[in-house]
Structure 1
Amino acid sequence: MNDPQPARNDSIDSQLPRILFFNVNGSGMGHLNRCLSYARRLRGRARPVFFSLASAIELIEEMGFEADYFVSPYWSSSSTFAWNSELAVRFGMMLERVRPDVIVFDGTWPFQGFLATCETFGSPALVWSNRGLLKEGGKTVSVDESRFDLVIQPGELGAQESETPLEGGGTRALVPPVCVLEDDELLDRATAREALNLPQDGRFVLFALGPGNLKDVAGIAHGLIREFEAAGFNVVWVRAPISVRDIELPAGVMPLTVYPLARYLRAFDAFVGAAGYNTCCELVQAGVPALLVPNAQLADDQVRRAHMVADVMPAVVSACETDDERETAVSKLLGLLNATPAERAAIPMNGAVLAAEKILALAARRERTQ
């Protein structure tokens, strides 16, 4: 149930600007999602190619894009120096093969092996896609943004497009939230249930508490599953494509593996999950009432983001660490489900389109100067 795409025409692709996406492997799918969001909007106007540190490389290929995989430093037994040296060789081989017009890096900070290879290669136009909303006082790594022609900041809910100049002649561009799919690609309730082989009757809640790579979510999950089942819900559990360990599900809970998940969200009456960037953007896009359980172990401020969601749509925010917290949170969400929906304000969600246009314009400028 992935993104069906037409076969590539290599003769046409060879005449298009080449955009090389380098996505790191985070705790979730965020970096890969954003690169795929940009690449989908470039289809037919550029030739997107991926160099991915995320293990779910088959998702890239199923969307119709070329991809090469290199192991993330978090899963490598090499030292930092050795890994960056290995990266420089592998990425250099990728640059020789693809010869991109633009390189787009999506990650918290660019690796030294990556930057050194770009400089050695003669560096085509360089873009850094860098999501913000980090916690105050959190660990940061200083990066010289003047090395980039364009820094794209995927905005949080309510962000408006803006540009500011960077030292070195580049541009920092803030864009509205970035989503993999357009609004008209989301299935309605009946169609989504049919696609997932779910009955049209009955109440279903979708759990997406993350892959559990950094935080053990089993206790919270089992407690919330009991609460929802007691309220008459059928529980569906999303298994993340990059999960390295899955929790043992109680009998009766249905596992689900689909990508992109946003396409099928409206099949469900309610959603339970962490407050990652993509999750929150897609929930607002789909309008599915949610119980958000922020993951406090990550660098981004998920608590703040979850409350942004609750300000614009029916959502409850809770750590759900104790039985009392879980019971209260589920009760509040059920109250929202039974309330008359309020009129939703229009929120711009076209960040992927705007970012893709800026990347394409950068490629065009590079072609004119060659």
Structure 2
Amino acid sequence: MTGRAISTPPERLAFYALGGGKGHFMRVLALIRAVHSLAPGVKTLMVVPDRLLELARRFGLAAAAPPCRDRQGLATWLDDRLSEFRPDGLVVDVFVRGVLGELGLCRHLPPRVLLGRSLHPEYHRMVRGALQDYRAVLWAEAAPAELRDPLRVDPVVVVQELLERERARHDLGLSPDLPAVLAIGTGSTRSQQRLLERLAFVPQLRLFSTELPACDQVVSRIPAGSWLLAADVVVSAAGYQSYHEIVQAGVPAVFVPQRRQIDDQAARAQGRLGFAPRASWRVAATPEELAGAVSELLVTGTRADPVRFSGAEQAARHVLKTLS
């Protein structure tokens, strides 16, 4: 990552990433890395669910996880952690329960910045009032009319360097002479196993998963985005992180949107949230559509030149300036 260092950064920053999925974690991981690149002396603390605590430590992050789930218990625990850490500011990855729940019950919150992305419209209306207490609202996708003057940034993705196709294929044990499909596993282990079975017809397959046992076709590397140039076609849900990594890599893709309470994956998969793919892509809703779309793109799919999204650095600069 390049760019001018920040001359007078804050000393300590806490990051709230208590959302249920890995998308919250990965966005905040990308932001923390950018903060450390621009201001190496800043001490950071990442607040994550207990199930992601070990993953945070794998990435070398200082992290803490609450032992409870009720709002008052979470608020008390967060108050205690922040009192111990004494941050100059708190960065919140948008999560409706937290913004409207435990964060509103905390007694001594430091100045806050929100990092957001597209939600279903009714949730924008729900959180609008609570966001008045934030010093800045950063938006890393299409911003809704309900938000007042958000600061737009590019997509915030972890992957900054893509392995060349030959190197990526070698790393994944793929033959250079046969078409290859890469799938990014999300959701339950059962749904990931079904995806593996539905793609059994392709010449070469690798599924990125941290939930399924590793085998010839399943690899546990994370984030998957570094290896995407190995693919002739990528299959993925349309969650924020995987979608934008695929768009960044410029590889043909089949998106299988998952239903989420606040995340409109169908709109994202159709390119309606601000950053449409430049390579060939299809959207599939059934096993038959998935098989047909993969088969089609293996023959006719076209690639695009990779791009580099700089949203993490843009957001980090806003955070460091706002919370200094």
Report the Cα distance in structure 2 between the residues aligned to 1:148 and 1:203, rounded to whole angstroms: 49
Shift of 1:218: 4.8
Q: How many angstroms apart in 1 are the aligned matches of 2:48 and 2:249?
A: 28
Counterpart selection for 1:318 from 268, 272, 284: 284
Q: Does 1:260 align with 2:246?
A: no
Q: Does 1:305 align with 2:290?
A: no
CA distance in 2, matches of 1:63, 1:53: 15
The partner residue of 2:73 within 81, 86, 89 is 86
In 2, Cα distance between equivalents of 1:72 and 1:205:
40
- Compute the TM-score of the two structures, normalised by the length of structure 1: 0.73
Q: C-alpha deviations, 1:201-246, integer Å up to 9, x for none? A: 4332112241327x845545523x1332xxxx21112214xx5xx5
Equivalent residues of 2:154, 2:309 under 8 A apart: yes
- TM-aligned CA deviation for residue 84 of structure 1: 1.4
Distance 1:47 1:265, change over 3 A: same
Q: CA deviation at 1:101?
A: 0.6
Letter in 1 for 2:19: N
Distance 1:85 1:137, change over 3 A: closer
Residue among 113, 116, 126 paired with 1:130: 116
Q: 1:194 to 1:226 in 2, by over 3 A?
A: closer
Is 1:70 paired with 2:66? yes
Q: Are 1:204 and 2:168 counterparts?
A: no
Mapping 1:279-298, distance limit 5 Å: 279-298=242-261
| SS at structure 2 position matched to 1:258 | coil
The question of whether the paired residues in 2 share the 8 Å contact of 1:132 and 1:155 is answered with yes
**Cα pair distance change 1:68/1:137, threshold 3 Å:** closer
Provide the identity percentage. 26
Does structure 2 retain, via aligned residues, the 8 Å contact 1:57–1:67? yes
The equivalent of 1:51 in structure 2 is: 47
Shift of 1:40: 0.4
Distance 2:140 2:186 in 1: 21
Corresponding position of 1:36: 29
Whole-Å separation in 1 of the counterparts to 2:68 and 2:174: 36
Tell me the matched-pair count: 305
Aligned to 1:3: none
| SS of equivalent residue, structure 1 residue 127 | strand
Q: Secondary structure at the match of 1:141?
A: helix
Residue of structure 2 equivalent to 1:19: 13
Separation in structure 1 between the aligned mates of residue 123 and residue 44 of structure 2, nearest angstrom: 34
Cα separation, partners in 2 of 1:47 and 1:177, compared to 1, 3 Å: same
Q: How far did residue 256 of structure 1 move? A: 0.8
Distance of aligned partners of 1:51 and 1:327 in 2 relative to their CA distance in 1, 3 Å threshold: closer
Residue identity in the other structure for 1:226: A
1:137-196: CA deviations, max 9, x gaps? 67963442111111121115xx8xxxx995xxxx621211111122xx221112223333
- Contact 1:187/1:264 (CA < 8 Å) preserved in 2? yes
Deviation at 1:267, TM superposition (A): 2.3
Amino acid at match of 2:253: A
Match status 1:189 vs 2:165: yes
Query: Structure 1: 5+ residue runs without aligned partners?
Result: 1-14, 74-82, 365-370
Residues 329, 195 of structure 1: alpha-carbon distance in 2 compared, 3 angstrom cutoff? closer
CA deviation vs aligned residue, 1:271-297 (integer Å, no higher than 9, x gap): 111011111110011122111111134
The correspondence for 2:103, drawn from 102, 111, 114, is: 114
Query: What is the distance in 2 between the residues matched to 1:299 and 1:218?
Result: 25
* Partner SS for 1:70: coil
Q: Is the 8 A contact 1:211 1:239 kept in 2?
A: no
Question: 2:84 maps to which residue?
Answer: 97
Aligned with residue 237 of structure 1, among 197, 203, 207: 207
The CA RMSD over aligned residues, in Å, is 3.0
How far has the Cα of 1:55 moved from its partner? 1.6
Q: 1:302 and 1:331, CA in 2 relative to 1: closer, same or farther beyond 3 A?
A: same
User: C-alpha separation between the residues in 1 aligned to 2:123 and 2:78?
Assistant: 30
1:90 partner amino acid: W
- Measure how far apart 1:358 and its partner are: 0.6
Do residues 274 (structure 1) and 237 (structure 2) align?
A: yes
C-alpha displacement at 1:67, in angstroms? 0.5
Secondary structure of the 2:167 match is helix
TM-score (norm 2): 0.82
SS for the counterpart of 1:19 is strand
Aligned to 1:147: 133
Q: Is the 8 Å Cα contact of residues 61 and 67 (structure 1) preserved in structure 2?
A: yes
- Once residues 26 and 50 of structure 2 are traced to their aligned partners in structure 1, the CA distance between those partners, rounded to angstroms, is 10
Q: What secondary structure, in the 3-state scheme, does the structure 1 residue paired with 2:92 have?
A: strand
Pair member with larger Rg: 1
Whether the 8 Å contact between 1:155 and 1:175 is mirrored in structure 2 is: yes
Shift of 1:30: 0.8
